[in-house]
Copies of this chain bind each other. A is one copy, B any other.
């Protein structure tokens, strides 16, 4: 079947669930054809929009083409596409963000619209409906089971030998659910394929298309210093005995700060070789595997640049012993994260002096990407670390403010805050003590006195906030383009 023939079987108002997690493992051909179809329908004056559930962000061939075609009615969960971001910030598409571990169960519970259609990218398929995925899993097992109609994009870019890298497991729903029997990152609990009822497979589209994964921003002196601060802190925790000497599995977020952190941990001789239990396996993890600094990685996706993915594919026999891809309700499972005792390291867009984190909203209003898995991990981690450069836009924005303009992770999910300035250890501190530690250790020099002055404005109380001034940094930035212009003299305690 051609992509166009498949797209012709999708209707206005349909709900579609996709395989993939980040741009890895996402279908590409049918959605590109669907976007063209939507544009033709719109040209005829007819409505054409679909609801979309994905694992996380996608490549441009889902979110980009459909957003530009104004063909997205609603979209969940995480996204990172420029054009989709524009669409959801202008309410052209309704976007509902959620913790990535929760999407599969909410689809099963009937809390969200049922996907009539599933589109899966596969590296192989058998006559009896065994579907072998490509470089990610995401929500694929659940949408394949719930959907009435399944399309397969059989992408020959991915080798059939990938079979075996996936571990497909879907828990029963309450009241019949049992434990998720993962006790170590390498534990296999499911099957290497998704079993799909062959009668539901409406078409197979053959493709040969690479993942649409761009290069990460390279690390710089600021991110490298953050990485060293994290690595030094973790090695001191091992020395103190607060982290077991054999270390614990690492969960690490996505992007250049996360890459710098992994790099610094890899080169720190006081940190033993470690396992990874995370959602996104990035280039840095493969690099550390080559150096025997990472011994195993469990994730939901291989979000690797093309050269690194091709290297993995050229040595699959070896890497299949060291890498395992799971559905996101397992890779991000609160139960498993807490049991394994993950050291969780995630990046903040903004923090406040009391230790709350904004991961998603620029100046409290514009959605950047979404909450992703950060909440699944930080809440349930053995130790939760958040990182951020202390300033942005050349100092015009302080990443640390009196009150976050949007709150994704509360003070209780944030144990350690790290900037290039230093490390604040917030464990066991009252709010006023946390504020003092964060201002002293993490805030950029030009903002320290302003934030100390803010603390004096606080209404007397456990958390000394001032309701008139709490968001004054953001209001000042919106009005003048520079938080340093904030005038705290106009407020009274």
Contacts and interface: CB of A to CB of B under 8 A. Distances in A.
A452 B110 CA distance: 30
Contacts of A382: 109, 174
Contacts of A415: 111
Contact of A465 (B111, B405, B408, B459): B405
A405 B461 contact: no
B364 A470 contact: yes
Interface string A381-401: 011000000000000000000
A347 to B, nearest CB: 18
A96 to B, nearest CB: 5
Nearest to A342: B174
A8 B183 CA distance: 46
Contacts of A334: 334-335, 338, 379-380
B430 A74 contact: yes
Interface string A432-460: 11000000000000000000000000111
A262 to B, nearest CB: 20
Nearest to A415: B111
Interface stretch (A84-92, A294-302, A312-320): A84-92
A436 B406 CA distance: 19
A473 to B, nearest CB: 9
Interface stretch (A17-25, A131-139, A241-249): A241-249
Contact of A174 (B340, B361, B462): B340
A335 B181 CA distance: 12
Nearest to A249: B175
A329 to B, nearest CB: 10
B410 A461 contact: no
Contacts of A407: 356, 407, 410
Interface stretch (A54-62, A161-169, A206-214, A365-373): A365-373
Nearest to A247: B175
A146 interface: no
Contacts of A98: 412
B244 A175 contact: yes
A428 B107 CA distance: 10
A112 B426 CA distance: 11
Contact of A175 (B179, B248, B408): B248
A405 B465 CA distance: 9
A98 B379 CA distance: 11
B175 A364 contact: no
Interface string A457-490: 0111111110110110011001000000000000
A110 B242 contact: yes
A461 B365 contact: yes
Given A89-B460, A95-B462, A109-B242, 8 more contacts: A91-B462, A112-B428, A174-B340, A174-B341, A334-B338, A334-B380, A364-B470, A470-B471
Interface of A: 74, 76, 88-91, 94-99, 102, 106, 109-113, 173-175, 177-179, 181, 183-184, 240-242, 244, 246, 248-249, 334-335, 338-341, 356, 361, 363-367, 371, 375, 379-380, 382-383, 405-408, 410, 412, 415, 427-430, 432-433, 458-465, 467-468, 470-471, 474-475, 478
10 contacts: A74-B428, A89-B460, A91-B462, A98-B412, A174-B341, A175-B341, A335-B338, A366-B459, A366-B461, A366-B462
